[in-house]
Chains A and B, each alone.
Chain A
Amino acid sequence: DTAVSQTPKYLVTQMGNDKSIKCEQNLGHDTMYWYKQDSKKFLKIMFSYNNKELIINETVPNRFSPKSPDKAHLNLHINSLELGDSAVYFCASSQSKGSHGNEQFFGPGTRLTVL
């Protein structure tokens, strides 16, 4: 059974387009995240939701808008795509916010290429 799944796996699109990436977790976790991993493998948090409430909102262009319809889903919509948005986007989930090491389970990633 897939714990954290993302669709699509690959996304190739033109500059200026709007696209969405979907994420679902079947682990019963309360917290979900979006990360961006650039070409140098640097993994940087973008957003975090706990029980559908936004709790982390890093310095990300407002062209990026997360949406959590329920605690098992966290989608990422990107408007007016730019070349610099090309990266691998990872969704992750964890049991809850707070202490004790907080293992995050990652999805397989969505490789976005903006032409």
Chain B
Amino acid sequence: KQEVTQIPAALSVPEGENLVLNCSFTDSAIYNLQWFRQDPGKGLTSLLLIQSSQREQTSGRLNASLDKSSGRSTLYIAASQPGDSATYLCAVDTGRRALTFGSGTRLQVQP
């Protein structure tokens, strides 16, 4: 059974810092890995999707990497801003198109 772990569970940083969120998964047989953002009381917003054949994806200040063989992904946020405060979730698709999620990292960016 696929298990997804995210470390740390919570993170507080001052504005402007670069930061890294970590995601690990137990079964390397994945089709893709996705990063989402969730604001309190809201649904999930897709940030980045990395296909299994890719090593990384970039969108603005966000960069996600994937090392499938070691079962790891990182989400790099450059020059963090208070508006980045949210919970970040990673999820893997192991072939059924339904996703297995981690529990998330709750990020607080202090002004």
A and B bind: no
